[in-house]
Amino acid sequence: MLARHLILHGKVQGVFYRDWTVETARSIGLSGWVRNLADGTVEAHLEGDEGKVARMIEAMHDGPPRARVDRIEQHDAAPQAFQSFERR
């Protein structure tokens, strides 16, 4: 089990980025959460096997059609054994 903490910068609020993230993460088979931050970024915590986490992060560089991701900060995180992926 691998866990990653992410901060996404760019046009990621007001473009359905969180809903897209929930749908995509669930379809890949990941657990964790996603939320908006007050500074206009999106924060996410992903948990799953290494290949699935990598696949999700790659997809997050594009996101939904109206989004523009300028960069993604990534940090290792401690797995917390979430049972699903949710929007916070």
Catalytic positions are 18, 36
* Distance from C-alpha of 28 to C-alpha of 25, rounded to nearest angstrom: 5
What does the DSSP 8-state code read for residue 73? E
* Distance from C-alpha of 53 to C-alpha of 4, rounded to nearest angstrom: 8
How many C-beta atoms lie closer than 10 Å to residue 39's C-beta? Answer: 9
Length, in residues, of the chain? 88
**Three-state secondary structure call for residue 38:** coil
